[in-house]
Amino acid sequence: MNPEPYLQLNRVIHEKGRLAIMSMLAASPELSFTELRDALAMTDGNLTTHIRALQQEGYVAVAKSFQNRRPLTTCSLTTSGRKAFADYINLLERIVQQNRPK
Amino acid sequence: MESNWAAENLQTIRTLMERSAVYRRALAPLMLFAGTLGVAAAAIGLWFHLDSMRAFGTLWLGTAVVVVAGALLITRRQAFKDQEPFWSPPTRRIAQALLPPLIAGMCLGVVFTGVDLEGGFTVLLALLWVLFYGCGLHAAGFFAPRGVKLLGWSFIACACVLLLAAAFRKSDLNLKAHWLMGFFFGGLHLAYGAYLYLTGTGKNAT
């Protein structure tokens, strides 16, 4: 078995919570903080920590605005985030294929 | 072992991506609102004998406009309450799926009402509306909880059966069009709204 693909897995995305956030954002142009929190059943603190980590890597962009005088935080994947996510999925598929019984 | 783990991860990603595209705001208030107005409009139509095509069309087109405006207001209020954008991608997809059959149905209604046809055409118009609305619900069901697609199929199946029955009997179904409208646009909406409340899916689904 070739261990190389495992070593190439993006550790930032690979964490369960961050992978869930990236997956949700990959299927939608943008999602609000509350939509992500409710859909993933995360606490505010947990979600903030993960989003901050993804933001620091340049994978997620956070925009703050006001809607009806209430703050609205929306998140979206950046171009490099989209590419990193696509690479991560390709790698997972390679792992599955590599270990498929012949 | 690792392969299983990778495959499970891929499956999780697929599920989350699908969930991201699904409309998650509470549907129960919308259904109950539409159902209540549907029943009220049917009662008004029957009570005041609004049986001519012009009166029938005006009543139900007016009701449709009020329901659409009310539904938008309810959705907007839900979005503000949950601190979410009103015109979110799932809302946009639902609107895009619903719009073509709704516009087609409205256009048909305006034509029928304008021409003011006599003799059983109100029943035909009611069944065509049910059919168009069913198609809209079914299309919207791809971006909404599963029950919406089933509700769409119910509308389509009932409309087809009744239209075929009318065609083979070569006459109208001898039904009051207001009863049909009240049952489909009032009763079925109320039933689905009550089901959502009772099963707990009336709250925002996640």
Query: Inter-chain contact A95–B6, Cβ cutoff 8 Å?
Result: yes
Q: Looking at residue A35, what is its pLDDT?
A: 85
pLDDT digits (tens, 9 = 90+) for B90-146: 888 899 999 999 999 999 999 999 887 776 789 999 999 999 999 999 999 988 887
H-state helical runs in chain B: 2-20, 28-47, 53-81, 89-115, 121-140, 146-168, 177-181, 189-198
Q: Is the pLDDT of residue B206 over 50?
A: no
- d(CA A16, CA A14) in angstroms, rounded, equals 6
Q: How far apart are CA A3 and CA A80, in angstroms?
A: 25
Distance CA A96, CA B9 (A): 10
A43 burial via Cβ count (<10 Å: 0-12, 13-18, 19+): exposed
Contacts of A32 in chain B (CB under 8 A): 83-85, 88
**Which chain A residues are Cβ-neighbours of B204 within 8 angstroms?**
38
B175/B18: higher pLDDT? B18
Residue B133, both tokens: 């609305």
Query: Is the complex ipTM higher than 0.90?
Result: no
Question: CA-based diameter of chain A, in Å?
Answer: 60
Alpha-carbon distance B21 to nearest alpha carbon in chain A (angstroms): 7
CATH of A7-94, one of 1.10.10.10, 3.90.1150.10, 1.10.3430.10, 1.10.3720.10: 1.10.10.10
Per-residue pLDDT at B5 exceeds 80: yes
Instruction: Name the residue ranges covered by the structural domains of chain A.
Output: 7-94
Write down the pTM of the prediction.
0.76
Q: Does B96 touch chain A (CB under 8 A)?
A: no
B44 pLDDT band, cuts 50/70/90, is very high
| pLDDT at res. A12 | 92
Q: What is the pLDDT of residue A2?
A: 62
* Amino acid, single-letter form, for residue B95: A
Q: Give the closest of B20, B86, B206 to A27, CB-based.
A: B20
Q: What average pLDDT does the structure give for chain B?
A: 87
B205 pLDDT more than 50: no
- Which amino acid would we find at residue B200? G
Interface of chain A against chain B, CB under 8 Å?
Answer: 6, 19-20, 23-35, 38-41, 67-68, 70-72, 74, 89, 92-93, 95-96, 98-100
Angle, nearest 10°, between helix axes A33-40 and A44-56?
Answer: 120
pLDDT tens figures, A32-86: 898 899 888 899 999 999 999 999 999 999 999 887 777 889 999 999 999 999 9
Query: Which residues are CB-neighbours of A53 under 8 A, at least 6 positions away?
Result: A12, A18
